[in-house]
């Protein structure tokens, strides 16, 4: 899967994605000046998530969507927006977990640890990609909740780690990861089909 999102959009999308990365780096500086170590750690994690798609040269649509979601979610957390707009927390977990699950799966593809979703068209192959992507997203959700617990226990007891909040975040994140896996298979299959059609057209020309 390449970085193109359309014939006229790649350069604009790349500029936007890189702009989000710059904002992520500036968020660390702002946190160091006006906030504290918890916020600094939060935006260091956000910046890591922003850099991975760039280093791996992942599809631009995924790059931009992930960066925007992580940066917005970080600032929502800093300004307690989730406390005011409760359902927004579940929405962000749903979207962020789905995008991170797909990103992690594609990272593993680069290391040949899992099958490339664009290879093959057998039902069990597609099902395996969806199951693996969902499992990766669920694992990332658990790790995030453990991080929140550690932050609440050792640094800032204002971090919300209630039972219902944690359970809701995990379920929402797993659901987003499932959808991410399904979309990954659908898009990869579509790319594979178009590539095969172009090859047949060239051979018959």
**Residue among 86, 67, 78 nearest 22 (CA):** 67
Q: Is the pLDDT of residue 123 over 70?
A: no
- What percentage of the chain carries pLDDT values higher than 90? 62
User: Of 194 and 113, which is predicted with more confidence?
Assistant: 113
Q: What is the pLDDT confidence band of residue 122, given thresholds at 50, 70 and 90?
A: low
The predicted structure's pLDDT at residue 193: 54
Over range 142-146, report the average pLDDT.
94
The predicted structure's pLDDT at residue 9: 57
* Residue-averaged pLDDT of the chain: 87
Q: Is the pLDDT of residue 142 over 90?
A: yes
Q: What is the pLDDT confidence band of residue 3, given thresholds at 50, 70 and 90?
A: low
Structure tokens at 4: 């193109």
Q: Is the pLDDT of residue 204 over 70?
A: no
Cα distance between residue 105 and residue 107, in whole Å: 5
Structure tokens at 36: 């504290």
Q: What is the pLDDT confidence band of residue 5, given thresholds at 50, 70 and 90?
A: very low
Q: What is the pLDDT confidence band of residue 178, given thresholds at 50, 70 and 90?
A: very high
The predicted structure's pLDDT at residue 162: 83
Sequence ranges of the domains in the chain: 1-79, 82-199
Structure tokens at 81: 């927006």
Burial, 201: exposed, middle or buried (Cβ in 10 Å; 0-12, 13-18, 19+)? exposed
Contact between 13 and 61 (Cβ < 8 Å) = yes
Which residue in the block uniquely carries the two structure tokens 């994690």? 45
Q: Is the pLDDT of residue 91 over 90?
A: yes
Contact between 150 and 98 (Cβ < 8 Å) = no
Contact between 126 and 185 (Cβ < 8 Å) = yes
């Amino acid at each position: 899967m390449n970085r193109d999102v359309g014939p006229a959009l790649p350069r604009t999308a790349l500029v936007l994605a890189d702009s989000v990365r710059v904002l992520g780096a500036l968020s660390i500086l702002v946190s160091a000046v006006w906030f504290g170590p918890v916020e600094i750690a939060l935006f260091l994690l956000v910046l890591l998530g922003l850099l991975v798609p760039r280093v791996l040269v992942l599809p631009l649509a995924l790059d931009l969507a992930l960066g925007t979601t992580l940066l917005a979610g970080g600032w929502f957390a800093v300004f307690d927006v989730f406390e005011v707009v409760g359902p927004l927390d579940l929405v962000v977990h749903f979207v962020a977990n789905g995008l991170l699950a797909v990103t992690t799966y594609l990272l593993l593809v680069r290391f040949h640890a899992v099958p490339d979703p664009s290879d093959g068209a057998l039902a069990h192959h597609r099902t395996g990609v969806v199951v693996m992507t969902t499992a990766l997203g669920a694992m990332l959700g658990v790790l995030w909740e453990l991080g929140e617990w550690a932050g609440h226990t050792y640094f800032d007891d204002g971090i919300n780690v209630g039972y219902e909040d944690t359970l809701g975040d995990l379920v929402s994140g797993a659901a987003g990861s499932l959808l991410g896996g399904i979309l990954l298979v659908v898009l990869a299959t579509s790319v594979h089909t178009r590539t095969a059609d172009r090859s047949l057209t060239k051979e018959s020309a």
